[in-house]
Structure 1
Amino acid sequence: MARLENLNLSQRVTNELGKAIVAGKYNINTGLPTEAQLCDMYGISRTAIREAVKMLAAKGLISSRPRQGIRVESPSNWNLYDTSVLNWMLESGPSLQVLKEFLQVRLAIEPQAAALAAQYGKDEDIANIAAALEDMRKAAKTPNQTLHESDLAFHTSILQASGNRFFFHLRDFINTALGVSIQHTTPAKGSDVSVAEDHAVIYDAIAARQPEVARKQMNALIEEAMAVIENELNSKLEA
């Protein structure tokens, strides 16, 4: 029971310190408080603090070495594929630049995943894409409902249908950042029905076993989202 209690406390401290590091409160220049100071700040044992330090080190936010103490790492060393790190980055004020970089990653992955799904996808996997699309269409026509969950399910189902385990392993990363970028790109479309139908053309190409068409349609969908983010970035620069 004591071990579980320490772990829960460690997770809370990991979350709070992680957010503080990502937000810039603690950085390479300021460093982190000492182990003793952290114990006082959070009112917990050294054991719980050390667990939190291990978790943050595993995410690349800090390093801890004998005689050197705890050192905050530069953002270039952070594990951006860790969903906690990505969540902290997005929660600290979703940076349009971060979203742009995320869309660039999607452009490198999802069109190919769509093509592979069309070429090699199992019938049951393609049925899952169809089910997610149907949920999108229903949500689009239902007052006070959003496409959020069904949109995420649509993209995750394509990663699954691709048959590429490396692509599917990125599903949590894709879902985390996609959930934020949707908030910027869906309103720009002006109609949830239009958003659902843009996804429908991707599904149609996959179901028809047309890899190049599926690739092209997914590429167009993400490029449109990229244009929205770039317009917002340009507007901020001009303001």
Structure 2
Amino acid sequence: MSYPRRGMHGEVVEDLGRRIVSGDPEAEGHLDPIELGRRYNVSHTVVREALKTLAAKGLVDARPKRGTFVRPRGDWSLLDPDVLRWRFEQRGDTDMLRDLAEVRAVVEPAGARLAAARRSEEDVAALEAALERMAATAADPVAHTEADVTFHRVLLAASRNELLECLEVVIAAALSARDRLVHSTGERPGFAATHRAVLDAVREGDPDAAETAMRDLLAQAERDESDLSH
């Protein structure tokens, strides 16, 4: 998820970052800070701070005699929450959806397996609460998505593996964008059942069942995305 933004600085970061990631021709190549100030009707200080923020994300750079310029896509910090979110906001970024499915297939079954072996009662209670929240917000795509993201975050945290848990930023950003598309007309059939199966296996402390249930969940997610594209 994106960190909170306030004021004109945040608005410039949001708009310019989104334009760069989307490949907007007007946001490619060299960037003129003076022109940016006019475009957004902000001071030079605001522009400078916004460009610093985008530079930290690998999107832009500034060099003597070369000025400020957009960096090649290969230099972007692709795991930055905002860069992830901006990419997923592009409905046509099918490569990103594919990358997400592949990352989830590697990370989440292993996370579920470890969670079943290492979870605490508090973890189980948090997963149950998230699942109940999903059921209660089936008609509210925003709240439903937040509950789904919470479920998957808690699951990775329950693995007690700090490196796996760090990957929640990828899963969370991706799920947020995916759910807004897939569940825009309501919860998909089978969604609750697949999540319940994961929770039950984790509660029972059954690593094999938890891994299998997560693979089933991901297979259902892939079918949902396929239905959406047709």
- Whether the TM-score (by the shorter chain) exceeds 0.5 is yes
Could you list the per-position Cα deviations for residues 181-238 of structure 1 after superposition, in whole angstroms to 9, with x for gaps in the alignment?
22454589x96563111111111111111112111111221133224435666x5xxx
Root-mean-square deviation (CA, aligned residues, Å) is 2.6
Which letter maps to 1:221? L
Distance in 2 between residues matched to 1:40 and 1:194, nearest whole Å: 51
What is the match of residue 170 of structure 1?
A: 167
- How far the C-alpha of 1:171 sits from its partner, in A, is 2.7
Distance in 2 between residues matched to 1:74 and 1:49, nearest whole Å: 21
Structure 2's unaligned 5+ residue stretches are 1-5
The answer (yes or no) to whether the contact 1:100–1:230 under 8 Å persists in 2 is: no
What is the match of residue 19 of structure 2?
A: 20
Question: For 2:78, what is the secondary structure of its paired residue?
Answer: coil
What is the match of residue 114 of structure 1?
A: 112
What is the match of residue 194 of structure 2?
A: 198
How does the TM-score come out when normalised to structure 2? 0.84
User: Could you say if the C-alpha distance between residues 35 and 191 of structure 1 is closer, same or farther in structure 2, counting changes exceeding 3 Å?
Assistant: closer
Question: For 1:101, what is the secondary structure of its paired residue?
Answer: helix
Structure 1's unaligned 5+ residue stretches are 1-6
Q: Looking at CA atoms only, which structure, 1 or 2, has the larger radius of gyration?
A: 1
Distance in 1 between residues matched to 2:90 and 2:191, nearest whole Å: 28
User: Residue 30 of structure 2 is aligned with which of 29, 32, 35?
Assistant: 32
What is the match of residue 147 of structure 2?
A: 150
The answer (yes or no) to whether the contact 1:39–1:46 under 8 Å persists in 2 is: yes
The answer (yes or no) to whether the contact 1:19–1:92 under 8 Å persists in 2 is: no
The answer (yes or no) to whether the contact 1:114–1:162 under 8 Å persists in 2 is: yes
Which letter maps to 1:16? D
The answer (yes or no) to whether the contact 1:27–1:72 under 8 Å persists in 2 is: no
- Identity, in percent, stands at 32
Pairwise mapping of residues 214-225 of structure 1 onto structure 2 (< 5 A)? 214-225=210-221
The answer (yes or no) to whether the contact 2:58–2:71 under 8 Å persists in 1 is: yes
What is the match of residue 42 of structure 2?
A: 44
Distance in 1 between residues matched to 2:156 and 2:216, nearest whole Å: 17
User: Could you say if the C-alpha distance between residues 145 and 17 of structure 1 is closer, same or farther in structure 2, counting changes exceeding 3 Å?
Assistant: closer
